[in-house]
Structure formats: structure tokens, C-alpha cells
Structure 1
Amino acid sequence: MSKLRMSTEKRIKVALRHYEQKDREYLERFELPEGQIEFSALPKDVLELAIQDQERYPVVIMYEQKIVGFFILYEGPNIASFTANTSAMLLQSFSVDYRHQGQGIAKGAMLQLPEFMKNQFPGRNEIVLGVNKRNKAAQAVYLAAGFRDGGRLIDGPIGPQHIYHLTLA
């Protein structure tokens, strides 16, 4: 099978949708190795805040009809430290369950994100995120999915973070 065909098939199998209450049980069993927990919170640690905060939108990543990942889209005032663009949203707490890593799911999810944003958040024209300078694996995923490094570093909770941008058409 050609690499292009495999990539296309992977994207078709990966889907994004808003969190639903029925997802909680799986997200509470979500696993990340210690080296990744340093860079991204477990869903169970950020889910309650995301549910209660009207400026946060928890999103699940589906692969072959199973929940395999999670992230939060944020539109509140704290986004100003990442971009001056008032039509941007901040992507936070992105992770793929350890049991499903290494299959191209993270990249597939990021490739689905522009279409998800267009359908769910019309009027938004950019996604921004902070990625730790030491988190080379995450940087590779974001860059491969079309994000660009804005060339700016900010202080993050565990060290410098690159600010990445994805312009939405």
C-alpha cells in the first residue's frame, strides 16, 4: 500500500467530536507514560474545568469508533498571551491515549481540525498552541499537520514554549 493511500485512510478513520457525558468513563482510564504527562495533562485532570467553563470546549478524538484522544479548545482572555488575533482559539491538553499511540492518530486528528473548526466554530480563523521546547514529538506532529512556528517563545509551566499557529481558510 502506498504511503499516500495509507495516510488518506488514516484520516478517514480519525474523527473529532465534542465531548459527551458518556465519554467520561473512558477518559478517566486514559493512560500516558510519565515522560508525556510532563507535557500534557490527563483528560481526567482537566475535564471538570473544561465542562464548567463556557469558554472551554472539550473535544474527543475517535479512531474506528473508539475514543483514543482528547483536547480542549479555548476562547477566553488568556489567549492574548499567545496571539493578538481575537478570532483565534487556543488548543490545550492535546493527547492520544498511550495504548493507541504510534498509529498516526495525533497527526490525523490535527489534519481534521480545520474542518472541525469550520463546522463547529465558524468565524474563527486561527488555532494557536504552546508546545514545550523539549517536546520534540509533539512539535513534529503539529508541524506535519500544517502548524507553523511563529518564532516566539513564552514561559510555560515547565519551561519555554514555542507558539505554533494554524491559519484556517
Structure 2
Amino acid sequence: MSDASALTLVAVDRVPRPTLLALRVAPEQLGFVGRVVDLLADAQSRPSADPLAFVLGDQVIGLCCIEREPRTIAPIAFDAPAVGLRGFFIDARWQRRGLGRRALSALLHALPERHPAARLLVLSVDEGNTAALGLYRQAGFVDGAARYHGGPVGRGQRLLLRPFHP
């Protein structure tokens, strides 16, 4: 399969569960992202969650969850109507091909249609996750005012913000 195939977003309820559960991150990324089974259970437990799969051609290559209640990402007020991003990852077998950048671009492009009232995407990222920080900054995310201590792997978390418009 060519990496030039179309990369699309699909609601996870349209993807066979075994296909989703087969997704994995590299062992060193597990502390940043967590296990897919836990991400899916978390998304199913919150009515505000919009879990999405990234599909390249006919292959599911990653996952993320848009959170309609951004206060679950950071318990602060935002200057614009916002949605949050959590659990963004590309399967370990598909990494290092520029697909994270393409997936994030596809997500940003789809947000105005999926969440028309929102104008801001917020996320928190572990300060030790330099690959993710670089990806998000390249995509136009900027540091927010908040910093959290004691993330999943014990380091601080940065709040990143990215305006988007229809």
C-alpha cells in the first residue's frame, strides 16, 4: 500500500472492534498514550467523546478522540468555543512515514464540519514527549497558559492551543 493513499477519519463505531484493538504504540510511547482498549473504554464512558479512527486507503492506522467538553483536558476557561484532543496516535507499524502530520492535518480540516461551533482545539502533552511536541508545534499549536505536574509518566504536561476556522 502506498503512503500516498487518501487519509480519512472514520467514527470508531464504523470500524470492527478487533481492528481497533490491534492498534499499538511503540513501548516507549505507552506512557504517553496508553492502551487502545483503555482509550476506547474511556471514550465510550463519556457522552462528550467523539472517538475517530485514521484510515489510510483501507487500513486503520491510528486513533484519536475529540472531546466536546475541553474542561476534561484542562479545567480552565478558554477564550473561544473549544474542543479537546486526547489519545492521538499512529500505530507503531505505520510510524516514521509522515502519517502523524497527515492525520493531524486531516483532523484539523474535518473539525469545522464535525464541530461547527468550536473555534479552538486544545490538548495536553507530556513535556518529555518531544516527538509529539514537535508535531503539534509544526501544525500551528502554541503554548497555553496552563502547565500541569505529574502527568501519566510523572513529568509536567503542557497545554497547547490551535485556533481553527470554518
TM-score (norm 1): 0.85
* Matching of residue 164 in structure 1 with residue 160 in structure 2: yes
* Matching of residue 121 in structure 1 with residue 115 in structure 2: yes
Q: Which amino acid aligns with 2:98?
A: G
* Matching of residue 26 in structure 1 with residue 22 in structure 2: no
CA distance in 1, matches of 2:5, 2:22: 25
Correspondent of 1:87 among 81, 84, 89? 81
Per mean C-alpha deviation after superposition, the further-off stretch among 43-52 and 121-130 is 43-52
Q: How far is 1:21 from its partner?
A: 4.8
Q: Given that residues 151 and 163 in structure 1 are in contact (C-alpha distance below 8 angstroms), is that contact kept between their aligned partners in structure 2?
A: yes
TM-score (norm 2): 0.86
Aligned residue pairs: how many? 161
Q: Given that residues 82 and 130 in structure 1 are in contact (C-alpha distance below 8 angstroms), is that contact kept between their aligned partners in structure 2?
A: no
CA distance in 1, matches of 2:73, 2:30: 22
Q: Which amino acid aligns with 1:161?
A: Q
Unaligned runs of at least 5 residues, structure 2: none
**1:102-117 maps to which residues of 2 (within 5 A)?**
102-117=96-111
Q: Given that residues 73 and 123 in structure 2 are in contact (C-alpha distance below 8 angstroms), is that contact kept between their aligned partners in structure 1?
A: no
Unaligned runs of at least 5 residues, structure 1: 1-8
Q: Given that residues 120 and 163 in structure 2 are in contact (C-alpha distance below 8 angstroms), is that contact kept between their aligned partners in structure 1?
A: yes
Q: Given that residues 11 and 108 in structure 1 are in contact (C-alpha distance below 8 angstroms), is that contact kept between their aligned partners in structure 2?
A: no
CA distance in 1, matches of 2:113, 2:49: 17
What is the RMSD computed on CA atoms of the aligned residues?
2.1
CA distance in 2, matches of 1:107, 1:61: 12
Identity of aligned residues (%): 23
Q: Tell me the SS of whatever aligns to 2:16.
A: helix
